[in-house]
Amino acid sequence: MPRHSPEEDREPGRAGQRVRRLLAGAAPVHAVHRAPRRPAARGAGGRDAGRGDRRRPRDHVGHLGQGPAHRRDRRRPRRAVPGGRPALVHAGGAGRRPHLAGRDRRRRAPVRGPLQTAPRQPRPGGHRDPGDPRPGQRVITVVGVGADGWDGLPPTSRRALEAAEVVMGGPRQLELLPESAGAERVRWPSPLLPALPALLARHAGREVCVLASGDPMFYGIGSTLVRLLGAADVRVLPHVSSLSLACARLGWPVEQVETVSLVGRPPETLNAAALPGRRLVVLGAGREAPSQVAALLTARGYGPSPMTALSDLGAATETARQGTAETWAGPAASSLNVIAVECVASRETEPLGLVPGLPDTAYEHDGQLTKREVRAVTLSRLAPRPGELLWDVGAGAGSIAVEWMRSHPACAAVAVESRPDRAAAIRRNADRLGVPSLRVVEGKAPAALDGLPEPGAVFVGGGVTAPGLLDHCWSRLRPGGRLVVNAVTLESEALVGQWYGRLGGDLVRLAVQRASPVGGFTGWRPAMPVTVWSLTRKDDT
């Protein structure tokens, strides 16, 4: 599934706008998932009529916080309780212990009956659950279905399916429904995403239900539909997610688990998530998914990691198979599976960290690499944010783009490199370090930048003096975006100095020295100093 920005989640794209215009009778909804307010009964008593008196009695509230002398002045003679037994009375509101009437010398609140509330009036058109579409509103309902099928659906989901004119989904989900659910059934086309807008437009004006596995908003079709149509036109009825079921079976706290989906994604995506002590729940794609996960973990030095393949979670045919990554053999019991992993590194493995500045040895390169210490400073200036796009111009080994994407799953990057051999090395580095979706563009900048989406950050690490390069990058940068330029040569430093004098920003020079043998002794060997210029684009620049 292609990456997208948070803005795309809030506003439908062009394709989504076309679909929405074709949805006959569609009405804007400001809060589809908000429970409808219950109208207050109005009568002669005004807006509070029928609600009952929720205030404390005036005679009780009036002396709260006053001293004993005041209470003694307000004592009353003790009254006998009929029947010879003190009555149990709740006084003073919620949270106060009951007292026995007639046995306390202090004044208590008078006994009152239960609060009177307005009787609930039936809603026009019969029963409507919170979150149901309003009358006249045309939305698409997404129903999450578990492996237990119809039997595991709550009443709200069943009613939605029974009322639907069209039910869309994959073959497995459609087979789980009885004949009474949906007058027409439509299987997903393949590939789905390009055909989805036309498919929805073809059924405009009809009651449409879409089936999804588990929670539709957890790596599911629900997220895609919201991105396409907008949240107001999508009603989601979730089921229990496979993540929750897997953690329940294993006794793992959900908030302490990292989730990786291999559905529609390269298996190398897993490489970025493997860290010692981390618990992973991997959403598999097919029966061979556990074997793929085991092979990747073993190749990365995590062969001792315990694995559990859970198939058909929630169904009568649910199975669990255990082993380690290095000894795993054979497929899962079902194509519907998740793989739980407790990451354990072998003794020979040097685990990679989460923060920027991976070892230089983690990259395949020919010397054109932003070195570790400079890379850490550069990425701190770029300040990755979820959902943003980075241009890595003159990428070399692609280390800046790779670590930008490793900072958050929603971060995207384009590495621009003119040499084909280096571009191929960037792709291999991206796969090995767990960001296979890194886009690599072969060509010389600035011409190679034409047609690329506008970036939230730009890094120029090579070709700084190319005519028009900095002007092009600065003009395409979004407001609030960051431009970072690293200069090594005198010519590139001179150009950076001119831009700094014109626009300001932050200008630093980094000098790194490493200890190395000098005969029989040890001395400091300096690396070439690097000038780092960084600047944030304001709205008026």
Q: Where are the domains of the chain?
A: 6-23+136-240, 243-342, 360-536
Phi then psi dihedrals of residue 334, to 5 deg: -145, 155
- pLDDT for the residue numbered 15: 53
User: 537 to each of 295, 391, 400, 479, 503, how far by Cα in Å?
Assistant: 45, 15, 20, 5, 10
3-state secondary structure 113-124: CCCCCCCCCCCC
3-state secondary structure 345-385: CCCCCCCCCCCCCCCHHHCCCCCCCCCHHHHHHHHHHHCCC
Give 106 or 159, the one with higher predicted confidence: 159
The fold of the 360-536 domain, in CATH, is Rossmann fold (3.40.50)
Positive or negative, the CA dihedral 12, 17, 19, 22 is positive
| Model confidence at 407: pLDDT above 90 | yes
Between CA 289 and CA 335 the distance in angstroms is: 8
Phi then psi dihedrals of residue 524, to 5 deg: -95, 130
Tell which residue, 430, 446, 450, has the closest CA to residue 438: 430
β-partners of residue 283 are 261, 338
Mean pLDDT of 473-501: 97
Q: Are 499 and 489 in contact (CB under 8 A)?
A: no
Between CA 481 and CA 383 the distance in angstroms is: 10
Lowest mean pLDDT among 40-49, 280-289, 457-466: 40-49
Q: Are 273 and 107 in contact (CB under 8 A)?
A: no
205-225 pLDDT, tens digit per residue, is 899 999 999 999 999 999 999
Lowest mean pLDDT among 79-83, 231-235, 394-398: 79-83
Positive or negative, the CA dihedral 495, 498, 502, 503 is positive
Between CA 361 and CA 339 the distance in angstroms is: 30
DSSP conformation letters of 173-228: HHHTS-TTS-SEEEEPPSSHHHHHHHHHHHTTTS-EEEEEES-TTSSSHHHHHHHH
The three-class DSSP label of residue 234 is strand
- pLDDT for the residue numbered 394: 97
CA angle 508, 379, 10 (to 5 degrees): 130
Burial class of residue 540, CB neighbours in 10 A (0-12, 13-18, 19+) = exposed
Positive or negative, the CA dihedral 238, 243, 246, 251 is negative
Between CA 510 and CA 249 the distance in angstroms is: 51
Lowest mean pLDDT among 128-142, 298-312, 388-402: 128-142
Burial class of residue 523, CB neighbours in 10 A (0-12, 13-18, 19+) = exposed
Burial class of residue 467, CB neighbours in 10 A (0-12, 13-18, 19+) = exposed
6-23+136-240: what CATH class?
alpha beta
343-352 pLDDT, tens digit per residue, is 999 999 999 9
235-291 pLDDT, tens digit per residue, is 999 999 999 999 999 999 999 999 999 988 899 999 999 999 999 999 988 999 999
Q: Other C-beta atoms within 10 Å of 396: how many?
A: 23
- pLDDT for the residue numbered 16: 54
- Mean pLDDT taken over the chain: 82
**Residue written as tokens 């210029």?**
533
pLDDT band at 496 (very low <50, low <70, confident <90, very high): very high
Look up residue 349 and give its amino acid: T
Share of the chain above pLDDT 90, in %: 67
- pLDDT for the residue numbered 308: 98
Between CA 169 and CA 140 the distance in angstroms is: 13
Phi then psi dihedrals of residue 100, to 5 deg: -90, 120
245: part of which helix (H) or strand (E)?
helix 242-250
| Biggest distance spanned by C-alpha atoms of the chain | 108
Say how many Å lie between the first and final Cα of the chain, rounded: 35
pLDDT band at 96 (very low <50, low <70, confident <90, very high): very low
Between CA 380 and CA 481 the distance in angstroms is: 14
Q: Other C-beta atoms within 10 Å of 170: how many?
A: 15
- pLDDT for the residue numbered 23: 52
Between CA 63 and CA 106 the distance in angstroms is: 11
Between CA 340 and CA 254 the distance in angstroms is: 12
Tell which residue, 258, 286, 252, 255, has the closest CA to residue 270: 258
**Residue written as tokens 């089936």?**
211
- pTM exceeding the 0.85 threshold for the entire prediction: no
CATH of 243-342, one of 3.40.50.620, 3.30.1300.10, 3.40.50.410, 3.30.950.10: 3.30.950.10
Between CA 326 and CA 143 the distance in angstroms is: 39
Alpha helices of 28-86 — where are they, by DSSP H?
Answer: 58-61, 68-73
- pLDDT for the residue numbered 520: 93
CA angle 179, 185, 187 (to 5 degrees): 130
| Model confidence at 117: pLDDT above 50 | no
Between CA 328 and CA 293 the distance in angstroms is: 10
| Model confidence at 531: pLDDT above 50 | yes
DSSP conformation letters of 132-151: PPPTT---EEEEEE-TTGGG
The three-class DSSP label of residue 280 is strand
Cα 391 to chain centroid, rounded: 23
